[in-house]
Amino acid sequence: MLLSYQYEYLLLSLNRHHLHFRICVATWAKSLEREQMGTCKTVQTKTVTGLHHSEGKRLLLP
């Protein structure tokens, strides 16, 4: 699935920048399986702690 591939890419690319971000994205991916894209904005605000919000939106919300 293309969606799963995006998550794996985010995990690999952001792992070195922010370890906590990797864990949050993994949890977000599990949540999306149930609620789809509904949690997108909420989790993006909570997880992007080490990155700028603008960059977080660019990565998580293409």
| Within a domain: 39 | yes
CA dihedral 40, 52, 18, 38 (to 10 degrees): 0
Say what the pLDDT of residue 31 is.
60
Q: Please state, in angstroms and rounded to a whole number, the distance separating the CA atoms of residues 48 and 60.
A: 9
Q: What is the total count of domains within the chain?
A: 1
Is the residue at 35 inside a domain? yes
Q: Is residue 49 part of a domain?
A: yes
Of residues 4 and 50, the one with the higher pLDDT is 4
Domain holding 44, by residue range, is 2-57
User: What global pTM score does this model have?
Assistant: 0.18
Residue 13 placed within a domain = yes
Q: Does residue 32 belong to any structural domain of this protein?
A: yes
Q: What is the pLDDT of residues 10-58, one digit of tens each?
A: 655 555 555 555 556 666 666 655 554 444 444 444 444 444 444 444 4
Per the CB < 8 A criterion, the answer to whether 52 and 17 are in contact is: no
Cα 10 from chain centre = 7
How far apart CA 62 and CA 58 sit, in angstroms, is 6
Indicate whether 62 belongs to any domain.
no
